[in-house]
Amino acid sequence: MKLLRTNQIGFSQRVRLEWFEQTANFVLAGNDKASVYDSLEELLKDKVSVGSHVERSGREKTITILLKTWLTAPSELELLRIEGLELLKSIPRSEHLPIHWGMVMAVYPFWSSVATQTGRLLKLQDTAVASQIQRRIREQYGDRETASH
């Protein structure tokens, strides 16, 4: 049985806005996947999984998230990706956060679910405690390790 993209989590690393920004800039500069990957590897080498020798390190996972967001998004999101990149070129950097956020939510529906649950809790009670959000996410996605962090 194939797991639907909407049921996958796929986002298990902390990823900084500046890394999304840099990835988009690499793509906008016309770099191919190998070049973007190498540039991200260089950018993150002393920031993520420093000294790690595991087969699939946190750095590798972070690069996958960045690439999937701005370079290798699912085909049904290609137009959104292109329009997002065009917007990033045409608006001030101070306004880029919603573009990155929207693209991440489209590529990683789990991220959208976390935002939705957080918003619901804030609307109900003016606060959102991580344990409450995690409980609601586990109800939706099951008791997976990445749904608890």
Residues 77 and 25: their CA atoms lie apart, in Å, by 19
Q: Residue 143's CB: how many other CB atoms inside 10 A?
A: 9
| Average pLDDT, integer, range 60-83 | 96
* 56 or 34, higher pLDDT: 34
Q: What is the share, in percent, of the chain residues with pLDDT greater than 90? A: 58
- Each residue's pLDDT tens digit, 121-147: 999 998 889 999 889 888 887 775 554
Q: What is the pTM of this model?
A: 0.79
Q: Residue 127's CB: how many other CB atoms inside 10 A?
A: 8
